Amino acid sequence: MTDLNKKTVFVSPREMQKQQEFINLIKTVLAAKYPSSAPKAFVHTYGCQGNVADSERIKGMLSQMGYVFTEDKHEADFVLFNTCAIREHAEDRVFGNVGALKPVKNEKKDMIIALCGCMMQQEHVSERIRKSYPYVNLVFGTFATHRFPELLYSVLRNKKRVFDVREDGPIIAEGMPVYRDSDFKAWLPIMYGCNNFCSYCIVPYVRGRERSRTPESVIAEAKEIIAFGAKEITLLGQNVNSYGKNSDFGVNFPKLLKMINELDGDFKIRFMTSHPKDCTKELLDTMAQCKKVARHLHLPFQSGNNRVLREMNRGYTREQYLELINYAKAVMPDISITSDIIVGFPGETKEEFEDTLSLIREVKFTSLFTFIFSAREGTKAQKMEDPVPYSEKSKWFSELLKVQEGIACERSRNMLGKTYTVFVEGTTKENDGRLTGRTDGSINIDFPGDESLIGTYVNVKVTNALNWILSGEICE
Ligand code: SAH
Ligand code: SF4
Ligand code: F3S
C-alpha cells in the first residue's frame, strides 16, 4: 500500500473481455426479466470529478446492459450511490440517503441497491454497511469499477449480497464504455490515486498509489471526445502535475498538455487539480503558449502559514506558493486563480489563520472552495491535538468568506461594461429565459438567450454586477 514506486499494472484485455461477456449475459437476463420496458437505473455521485468520471464509466456499462437512466429513485430497478469520504459531512449524507432507501426497497423488493466509491474502500464503512444496512445488495470499492459487470451478475444470479472492497494495487483499467453526462463538456481522467499523504487527507488511503494512463490512451480518448462534439475537456487527477512520474513513457504534464493542444478541433482544455509542490514554471509557460488551454489555474494552497503547511505535509511554503502565483500572473496577465482552503487544522491558532486571510488579500482569487477541518479515520491529523472548538472555527470560516466576498465584489465591479467570451452551460435555475455561461477564467455570467446556444461560445457584455453575481447581454 505505501510502496510509492510500485509499477502500474494494466488490467489485461482478457479480463476486460471477460467483463464484456458479463455485460452481454446481464443484457439477456434483464431482457427476460423486463420484457415490456427497459429496466431503470438511478445513479447518484458524491464528491469530486474523479468520481463523476468513474460514474460515467459505470453508466456506460449499465447502458450496454440495457438499463435506461432515471432521476427518480422510486421508479428505479437499480440504485447506485458512488460515494465520497473526503469529509464527515459527505459521509453523513450518504448514510442518511442509504437509510432513506429502506422504505423504498420495502415497497419494491426487486430493487437492487449498490454502493461504490471512496467510502467503501474504508473497512469501518463497509463493515457498517454489512451489519446495519442488510438491504444493500452490492458494495464495491474504487479498485473494482471494471469488475462491476461480474459483481452485478453475481447479485442477479445468486440473490446474495456481494462485497468487493479489496485494494488491488496500482491498477489501470482501459476500455470501459463511457456514458457522458454532457454533450458539450467532458471529463478525461489522466491519472488515478495520490502519493502525497497530506496529513488530513483520506484520498491516498481510498484511491491507492499514483498511476498515470499512457499518453496514447489519453490522446485517443481526447480525440473521441472532440469527435463527439464536446467543446471543453477537463483533464483530471488528484495531482495532475505528477503525471508520468513512475512511468517510463517520458511525457510529463506540460508535454501532455501540448499534445492535446495540438489536436485539431475547436475546444478548450481545463485541468484539475494542480498541486503547488509540483507546479513548475514549465507548466505555467506551457499554459501561456497553448491557445486551447483556459486561462484558469486551480492551485489549492490550504493555509497561508508555514508551520501549518508543514504540519499538513504539503511540501511548499507560503513564499514558494506566492512566487508561483506571481510567475503565473507575469506570463498570463489575464489568469484567473482559484484555490482550496482548510480552516481550523488541528493546532492552528488565530494568528496562523490570519496568515491565510492575508494571502487571500494578496492574491485576490477568483473564487475559493473553503472547508472546516474534518478528522478522517486513519490519517495523521486525526491523532493531532485539536484544542480550538468548532464554534470558534466557524467564526474564522465566516470571517474568511466575508473577506473573499469583498474581493469578489471588487472584481465584479471591474468587469462591468467589459465583454467576455463565455461558454454557455445551460439555463439558469429559475428557468426564466436566461442562460448561464462561464468565462475562460471560470467566472459565471447570466444573460437572456435562447436554449439553442447551450454548448456554444458567445460574447457577453457585463451590464450588472450585484455583489459577485454578474449578468449581461449577448453582443457581437
Ligand atoms: N488533490 C487536491 C485536493 C483534493 S480534495 C489537492 O491536493 O489540492 C479537495 C479539497 O478538500 C482539498 O483541497 C482540501 O481543501 C479539502 N479537504 C481534504 N481533506 C479534508 C479534510 N480532512 N477536512 C477538510 N477539508 C479537506
Ligand atoms: Fe489529498 Fe493531498 Fe493527495 Fe490532494 S494531494 S488528494 S489533498 S493527499
Ligand atoms: Fe471524495 Fe474520493 Fe474524490 S474521497 S473528493 S470522491 S477521490
Task: Taking each helix axis as running N to C, give the angle between helix 13-33 and helix 49-65, from 0 to 180 degrees, rounded to the nearest 10.
Answer: 60
Counting from 1 in the atom list of ligand 2, the atom nearest the Cα of 275 is 5
**pLDDT at position 159:** 84
| Whether the predicted pLDDT of 1 surpasses 70 | no
The letter for the amino acid at 441 is G
Q: Taking residues 417-439, report their average pLDDT.
A: 92
CA of 195 to the centre of ligand 2 (A): 8
pLDDT in the model for residue 239: 94
Q: Give the confidence band of 46 by pLDDT, cuts at 50, 70, 90.
A: very high
Q: Is the CB of 340 under 6 A from ligand 1?
A: yes
C-alpha 199 to ligand 1 mean position (Å): 10
Instruction: Give the ligand whose atoms come closest to the C-alpha of residue 340.
Output: 1
Ligand 3 pocket test, pick from 81, 92, 206, 298 with the greatest ligand atom count within 8 Å of Cβ, gives 206
CA R_g for the chain: 23
Question: Residue 24 pLDDT more than 90?
Answer: yes
Pocket flag, ligand 1, residue 314 (CB < 6 Å): no
For residue 120, the ligand closest to its alpha carbon is: 3
Q: Separation of 361 CA from ligand 3 center, angstroms?
A: 29
pLDDT tens, residue by residue, 226-268? 999 999 999 999 999 999 998 989 999 999 999 999 999 999 9
In the chain, % of residues over pLDDT 90: 95
Domains of the chain: 9-171 (3.40.50.12160), 182-294 (3.30.750.210), 297-415 (3.30.750.200), 416-474 (2.40.50.140)
- Closest residue by Cα to atom 1, ligand 2, is 201
Pocket test for ligand 3, best of 45, 51, 371 (most atoms within 8 A of CB): 51
266 CA from centroid of ligand 3 (Å): 31
Question: Given this model, what pLDDT does residue 441 score?
Answer: 93
Give residue 246's pLDDT.
84
* Measured distance CA(246)–CA(25) in Å, rounded: 38
Q: How many CA atoms lie within 13 A of 451 on its CB side?
A: 5
Please determine, for residue 308, whether its predicted confidence score (pLDDT) is greater than 70: yes
Ligand 2 lined by 203 (C-beta under 6 Å): yes
In this structure, what DSSP letter does residue 8 have? P
Q: pLDDT band for 430, please (50, 70, 90 cuts).
A: confident
Q: What percent of the chain has pLDDT over 70?
A: 100
Average pLDDT over residues 405-415: 93
Helix axes 215-228, 253-261, angle to 10 degrees: 30
**DSSP 8-state code for residue 12:** P
Look at residue 470 in the predicted model and tell me its pLDDT: 94
For residue range 199-218, what is the model confidence (pLDDT) as tens digits? 999 999 999 999 999 999 99
In the reported structure, the alpha carbon of residue 85 is separated from the centroid of ligand 3 by a whole-number distance in angstroms of 6
The predicted structure's pLDDT at residue 161 = 97
Question: 72 with 41: CB under 8 angstroms?
Answer: no
Res. 277: pLDDT tops 60: yes
Smallest Cα–Cα separation from 467: which of 372, 401, 418? Answer: 401
User: What is the spatial distance between Cα 36 and Cα 11, in angstroms, rounded to a whole number?
Assistant: 37
Q: What would the mean pLDDT of 451-462 be, rounded to a whole number?
A: 95
Mutate to test the pocket of ligand 1, among 46, 91, 274, 342 (most ligand atoms within 8 A of CB): 342
Tell me which residue of 76, 73, 95 sits closest to 84, measured CA to CA.
95
Q: 103 C-alpha to center of ligand 3: Å?
A: 28
Q: What is the mean pLDDT of residues 362-369?
A: 96
Q: Is 356 in the pocket of ligand 1 (CB under 6 A)?
A: no
CA of 201 to the centre of ligand 1 (A): 6
| Residue closest by Cα to atom 3 of ligand 3 | 48
Does ligand 1 have an atom closer than 6 angstroms to the CB of 87?
yes
Residue 2's pLDDT is: 63
Q: What is the full DSSP assignment across 397-448?
A: HHHHHHHHHHHHHHHHHHHTT-EEEEEEEEE-TT-SSEEEEEETT--EEEEE
Residue 323: per-residue pLDDT:
98
Q: How far apart are CA 149 and CA 154, in angstroms?
A: 9
**Which atom from ligand 3 is nearest to the alpha carbon of 51?**
6
| Conformational region of residue 4, where left means phi above 0, alpha means psi within -120 to 50, and beta covers everything else | alpha
Q: What is the mean pLDDT of the chain?
A: 96
In this predicted structure, the answer to whether residue 381 has a pLDDT above a threshold of 60 is yes
For residue range 103-160, list pLDDT tens digits in order. 999 999 999 999 999 999 999 999 999 999 999 999 999 999 999 999 999 999 988 9
Cell match 496562523: residue?
A: 352
CA of 365 to the centre of ligand 1 (A): 17
C-alpha grid cell, residue 441: 477564467
